[in-house]
Structure 1
Amino acid sequence: MRLATKLGALAVAGALLLTGCSPGATPEADPAATSLVIGNNGDAITWDPAEMKEGAIIQYAEAVYDPLLRKTADATIEANLATAFTYNDDLTELTLELREDVVFSDDTPFDADAVVANIEARRAGAGSASEAAKTITEVVVIDDYTVQLNLEAPNPGLLSALATYLGFMASPAAIEAGTLGSEPVGSGPYTLNAGESESAVRYVFDAAPDYWNAEAYPFDTIEIRPYEDFSARYNALATGQIQFMYGTSDMVAQAESAGFTVQTVPGEWQGIIMQDRGGSVLPALGDVRVRQAFNYALDREAILESYYSGFGQVSTQTFNPASEAWVDELNEAYPYDPERARELLAEAGYPDGFSIPIGYSEGFMSPLVPIVAQYLGDIGVEVEQVPINGFSDGGLETLIAQPAFMLSFSTNIPAWTDVLNKLTPTALWNSFGYTDDTVTRLLEEIPAATGDAQAQLYRELNTHLVEEAWFAPIVTQQNVYLSSEEISVTMQQAQLVPSLRFFAPAS
């Protein structure tokens, strides 16, 4: 079954209703060059870095929290609140030298004790930082502005983690008070203006006085407006309410004709996480032949050309194409072959197929899930679609309780960040805790290796995951970003949305 016409119709119907503002739209953004208004595809459910989940919400965190380290546009790690960072020879001790002129917005000083409080909070949290934090066994205070992170084993993703959620520094007084979830207290370039903000509608941030790196953040105010719906977000851009958004490929032609700047960067993979690989809830997924059948059932080329308008590449892999784990040949592992898929199901004892619930986050996945469901239906697998409207109020728990689910996942450099996000037994996106002997071995060997030896182990891990069909990826897409002529935005590798440091007035 090739769905070029059908997929194109679904994509257009699901993405663009660009005929003006929605009812109740907020007033147009101030076009002054000193203001930046961003349309974000997620809401700030919590301000606590220990509970924040990976994704576009990183921009909320970056406004109020400074990280210990930071990423350049090409994902290189450099100093920030930590002015120097050095490892010992066996990569089990990381020493950080800290800035001495920083205070939090509640006037609490930033020092070694603040780092201890933040790392301990991340270790106890349930957010994206928790996996990396768990590898830290102790934070030793050397002096007021020097700390040493002792690790149970080398962690190739630690520096990257310290440049994002693990490294975002919050006031230790606010951590102790337990108020960070509702009131951010950081040392970042901006402070939240609660009086001008409205939950789930707009969040206004004012430039922090005397911020140590103010030249990197040229806007006096930043406003972030959450829009889960792509059409509403584009309408906001088209009517001047926002100046930047993460878009979809079918918006490109209209955006270009409207005079918006269109930029792309290799980014997310989209497809299915078949997390019940042990068959504890859905026994069929415990058979590798069933998981392989899912992969053979998908016509990735047709979906890429029609649904993604060619913005990306077909993929069976869940790592970043620029990472050390990528293997070009793996993308040829599962050509579209529904007959082979049906044979595998029959061999596994499911000649008449079976039914499977697949959860998905509404917005990103809403148009894609019916397409995938139709392909799986062609091999006898009936998909029960389980839409999740946001991650608040139990939405995340509902999603990760499904034996399989679909999301749009960022890919990272280094690849170890993806390991921590999706592959360890305690990873958020591996909520069934599945592993096997090969993965267990490689997750021990990769951190202890370096250079070419480590890269070879990453490729072995990636190959094993594809052969065992832990996932059913469809494409690694080109992320599409749209911005007004009032601003300039530097694209950033291996992050869903560019960091706030990469925005500037066009002039």
Structure 2
Amino acid sequence: MTRDLDEEAPMRKGSLAWVTISALSLAACSGGASGSDAEEASDGGAAAADPTGGIVFMDSAPNPDLDPAGTLSDSSFSQAVLYALYDRILTFDGAGEIQEGLATEWSFVDDELRTFEFTLREGVTFHDGEALTAEVVKANFERTQELGDAAGATVRAAAGNIDSIEAADELTVRVHLQEPDGGFPFALATQFGMMLSPNSLDGSTGVDLEAVGTGPYELVSFTPNNTTTMERFEEFWGGTEGRPATFEVQYVTDDQTRLNALRSGQANVVLLTPRQVSEAEGTGLEVKVNETSSMWVMYENTSEALDDVRVRQALMHAIDRESISSALQFDTGQPSVQLAPPGHPAFLEDADDLYPYDPDKARDLLAEAGHPDGLDLEYVLLNTPEYVQITEVLQQQFAEVGITVDIVTLDISQAGQFMSGETGDLMLARWGGRADLLKTFEVVVGPEGTYAPGGVATPQLEEAIVEARGYAADDPERVNALQAVNRETVESAANIPVVTRSNIYAYNEGCFSGLDPYLASGSNDWRDVTIAPDC
């Protein structure tokens, strides 16, 4: 949709498109879901909903704390709890399109994309009874600004670009930006848009451990990296019909322990790894495979040997993505050489043609780069079972073209050693994606990117990122700009994607509805998930 941006532009109610996905492709994304489950999900599962029941979900990714603006909540894999406790100014639907949240109307009110205005929903209260007002939103934004480098990367960029904030009236907020940012609405639909109660902001409650938001669930208890227990918020502005009475998330790192807990009744829904799908289905459990924007990637430090594009391209050609997808992801993910997920308008249909699996080409490129006898690289391994499995395969594939990777094993909490440039040429990780693809490029390969310790790979990539910032989220030309960023990222091998990664859930047949693909994030939004009786 195209519209003029000027001082008289009407406030907008509706969605800003991230990606349009047909009903057919969404159905395909649901993987192992049965036909009956898909039908229930489409109408919210209201017929089967048990409002007295409770969800007990065992996840592999923990929540160290509950501050949405903090660095420990930056990963999308720990956001299921945050989505339940906190509302956002704007939200996403399952296909990643921006929708109403705490705001019902929103718009840029100038044609320079520097002034963004939104109107809050009337009558919203926090879990402690405090009212949501424009002044509260202003205080939340200012608090994130004051955090500075202590804020998570997801919120830091948005907060850092704000020049000033106005509470124009009780429910109207006007944000003035330092630099044009057509993607600012996307930030409001992520952690930056999660609002804390005024009592949290003034220190009356501890933000890290005592979450007080406006979400559909309120906090009962929280043990960091162990368990979060929540109960339905009866005053939730969106109503309570069909929503389970309780929602508990337990963090269990061992894959088999989670599956065994489901079988024994300790949990009623668990996260699976790809290799567990056949086992779960073989015992009569229902399996749901949800596509997300998440994928397995290797981040690069381009300040040393990887400064040469030919070395980076050699790494791209050395990877047999099809075999990794089949043998390790059990075809629950797709081979990929680009950061744009399949179905996104900026997805490049011809990208795979640039980097077929070709060991001979990889060797030739290394020789051209001055490494005819091979090359040694330092590889950071984050010590979890899935990371180890993929690393073992990659290590073997690299060795076949003469690249020796010296493994440096770190706990996942020590990943900052790579991001600071202190350790490693390469680091494999699960990229959780960003709702706005431009933010993915900025964080992963941008000139100040968290995961690009060696800086931007090429001047052309930096120029393309800067240009893309000048388009509004609903401007059709923004797609072309994102494609240009994507193409330069791929051609310069500024990052090394491997395969996409889905979220895979198991539960007893017919027990859950509404647990649908959530393509805007690497996590799922559980706020509208319902549970059937006797589950």
TM band (smaller chain) = 0.7 to 0.9
Counterpart of 1:491 (choices 517, 526, 533) is 517
Q: How does 1:372-391 map to 2 (within 5 A)?
A: 372-391=394-413
CA contact (8 A) 1:131 1:426 kept: no
Relative distance call for 1:246 and 1:136 in structure 2 (3 A) is farther
SS at match of 2:257: helix
Counterpart of 2:497 (choices 473, 477, 495) is 473
Corresponding position of 2:35: none
Relative distance call for 1:152 and 1:436 in structure 2 (3 A) is farther
1:50 aligns with 2:69: yes
SS at match of 2:440: helix
1:95 aligns with 2:120: no
Corresponding position of 2:367: 346
CA contact (8 A) 1:320 1:413 kept: no
Corresponding position of 2:298: 272
C-alpha displacement of 1:373: 0.9
- Is the deviation greater in 238-247 or in 71-80? 238-247
Corresponding position of 1:310: 331
Distance, in Å, in 1 between the alignment partners of 2:381 and 2:442 is 21
Corresponding position of 1:458: 482
Q: How does 1:47-446 map to 2 (within 5 A)?
A: 47-51=66-70, 52-90=73-111, 91-123=113-145, 124=148, 125-177=151-203, 179-194=206-221, 197-215=222-240, 218-267=243-292, 268-274=294-300, 276-277=301-302, 279=303, 283-361=304-382, 362-391=384-413, 395-401=414-420, 402-434=424-456, 436-446=458-468
Alignment length (residue pairs): 467
CA contact (8 A) 1:290 1:344 kept: yes
CA contact (8 A) 2:445 2:495 kept: no
- 1:440-496 CA distances to partner (integer Å, 9 max, x unpaired)? 221222132364432222112111111111122122244433233322223322322
Corresponding position of 2:24: none
1:40 aligns with 2:41: no
Distance, in Å, in 1 between the alignment partners of 2:365 and 2:198 is 55
Distance, in Å, in 2 between the alignment partners of 1:243 and 1:139 is 44
Letter in structure 1 aligned against 2:480: Q
- 1:295-323 CA distances to partner (integer Å, 9 max, x unpaired)? 11111122222222222322110111122
Distance, in Å, in 1 between the alignment partners of 2:453 and 2:200 is 30
C-alpha displacement of 1:133: 2.7
Relative distance call for 1:411 and 1:459 in structure 2 (3 A) is same
Distance, in Å, in 1 between the alignment partners of 2:132 and 2:56 is 29
Give percent identity, aligned residues only: 26
Letter in structure 1 aligned against 2:62: D
Corresponding position of 2:33: none
Instruction: For structure 1, list consecutive stretches of 5 or more residues without a partner in the other structure.
Output: 1-30
- Is the deviation greater in 42-51 or in 87-96? 87-96
C-alpha displacement of 1:230: 2.3
SS at match of 2:168: strand
Distance, in Å, in 2 between the alignment partners of 1:67 and 1:482 is 28
Relative distance call for 1:211 and 1:121 in structure 2 (3 A) is same
- 1:395-427 CA distances to partner (integer Å, 9 max, x unpaired)? 232342433211111344542231243233333
Corresponding position of 1:5: none
Relative distance call for 1:410 and 1:378 in structure 2 (3 A) is same
- Is the deviation greater in 218-227 or in 72-81? 72-81
C-alpha displacement of 1:201: 2.6
C-alpha displacement of 1:216: 6.4
CA contact (8 A) 2:447 2:462 kept: no
Distance, in Å, in 1 between the alignment partners of 2:82 and 2:225 is 15
C-alpha displacement of 1:259: 2.3
SS at match of 1:438: helix
Letter in structure 2 aligned against 1:472: I
SS at match of 2:99: strand
C-alpha displacement of 1:199: 3.5
Using the size of structure 1 for normalisation, the TM-score is 0.86
Using the size of structure 2 for normalisation, the TM-score is 0.81
- Is the deviation greater in 123-132 or in 340-349? 123-132
Instruction: For structure 2, list consecutive stretches of 5 or more residues without a partner in the other structure.
Output: 1-49
Distance, in Å, in 1 between the alignment partners of 2:430 and 2:350 is 23
Distance, in Å, in 2 between the alignment partners of 1:236 and 1:384 is 37
- 1:51-90 CA distances to partner (integer Å, 9 max, x unpaired)? 1213221112122211111111222211121122122242
CA contact (8 A) 1:320 1:415 kept: no
CA contact (8 A) 1:314 1:475 kept: yes
Letter in structure 2 aligned against 1:416: L
